[in-house]
A = this chain, B = another copy of it.
């Protein structure tokens, strides 16, 4: 066997593809135009709606010490986080997998004395070690969201939902649905109903899978209630009215009442929002203590955003919602591009400036690249000149107009 053949076999055995200079790590992408512009302008639009409701923009850093970022509510993120050592302090730093814990830290430290309700907004990129689910292919995750810190009221939960809905409407995202859940409800109910601890994990899994047969088998005296709860999931008003008729122990009843109050508060702000309720859903909510919300586009399974109620720095009531702009912006039309005007050599500079003010992009002739557009064409190459050459250049560069002297002409 020759060395080369041996290498080929070794490669195929380790599944190591030949390295390409264009290769990016899985889950990291280059955004080009118009996607990069759509995302940036979309984030601006979201942040504008947040600001119009009094949310003040903050920008925490990309990295923090492990001790601060993964403390308290951040602990659940530990297994998703890239770490590096800070050569200064020899402490481990974490590349943030989520921005919410950073906002909580700011609210408790530098903004500890700021008046409540404290309304904060943010946007930025996070990095996770592995995607949360197979269909979420990104490891660099863009986030844009709001946190509302201080009040623990249905009105506060409802404001977050309502501001998020207004932001999506502003972006023009079609057919969105807000799904409300109450993660503390099922654990509280199983506890109050004295379901044996040994049965709970299997019962929780059955509820999570919406497996009515397994729930009936494992639920004991609670079976009927749990099956009714499973079936209550659906449009918010209908679910709330069903839930009101179920017999529940006091703590579970109070939790469900808070969900009903939140639905009512959302309705007061947004009577037409598509709102659903799933009382037994609890999966994926790691540090949440009250009403949670997932935002979907109707007919699609990807989440556009999610949020809910939690304890900011383990002691202060807070709720928030984070959008995933990278998912969101695949659902809206690309940002409108400026129409492009080619500036022929000698084009009037004042007219060009005025065209830019009117919303055109002007592309100046620079010499050094042939009309054929060959990459790396020698700059010393003799170039054709005159109107025909200029028009060809304009077309080659995707321009719809050409400015020669002070005259702007549309190309056929």
Contact = CB atoms under 8 A, between A and B. Distances in A.
A317 B111 CA distance: 49
Interface stretch (A62-70, A200-208, A220-228): A62-70
A54 B376 contact: no
Interface string A150-180: 1111011001000000000000000000000
Contacts of A40: 44, 47, 57, 59, 123
A278 to B, nearest CB: 25
A365 B124 CA distance: 29
A213 interface: no
A269 to B, nearest CB: 7
B151 A53 contact: no
B125 A62 contact: yes
A314 to B, nearest CB: 11
Contacts of A89: 16, 25-26
A60 interface: yes
Contacts of A82: 84
A272 interface: no
Nearest to A125: B62
B150 A375 contact: yes
A40 B25 CA distance: 28
Given A82-B84, A366-B151, A140 B21 contact: no
A52 B356 contact: yes
A398 B105 contact: no
Q: How large is the interface on A (under 10, 10 to 19, 20 to 34, 35 or more residues)?
A: 35 or more
Nearest to A26: B88
A248 interface: no
A110 B65 contact: no
A65 B150 contact: no
Given A51-B361, A62-B127, A376-B316, A86 B56 contact: no
Given A24-B61, A317-B376, A115 B159 contact: no
Given A21-B68, A21-B71, A396-B115, A53 B362 contact: yes
Given A116-B369, A363-B53, A397-B115, A22 B64 contact: no
A28 B61 contact: yes
Contacts of A87: 129-130
Interface string A28-61: 1111110111011000100100011110111111
Contacts of A396: 115
A60 B28 CA distance: 8
A119 interface: yes
A211 B124 CA distance: 46
Contact of A25 (B39, B65, B148): B65
Interface of A: 16, 19, 21-26, 28-33, 35-37, 39-40, 44, 47, 51-54, 56-65, 67-68, 71, 82-84, 86-89, 91, 93, 95, 102, 105-106, 108-112, 115-117, 119, 122-125, 127, 129-130, 140, 148, 150-153, 155-156, 159, 269, 315-317, 338, 340, 349, 356, 360-369, 373, 375-377, 379, 396-398
25 contacts: A21-B67, A22-B105, A24-B68, A25-B63, A30-B110, A32-B106, A32-B111, A33-B57, A35-B59, A36-B57, A40-B59, A53-B362, A53-B364, A62-B125, A83-B84, A84-B95, A117-B366, A124-B125, A125-B125, A151-B367, A153-B379, A155-B366, A156-B366, A316-B375, A316-B376
Given A25-B64, A30-B110, A52-B362, 19 more contacts: A21-B68, A21-B105, A32-B58, A39-B59, A40-B44, A51-B361, A52-B338, A52-B360, A54-B362, A61-B140, A63-B140, A87-B129, A115-B396, A116-B377, A150-B375, A151-B366, A152-B368, A155-B366, A316-B376
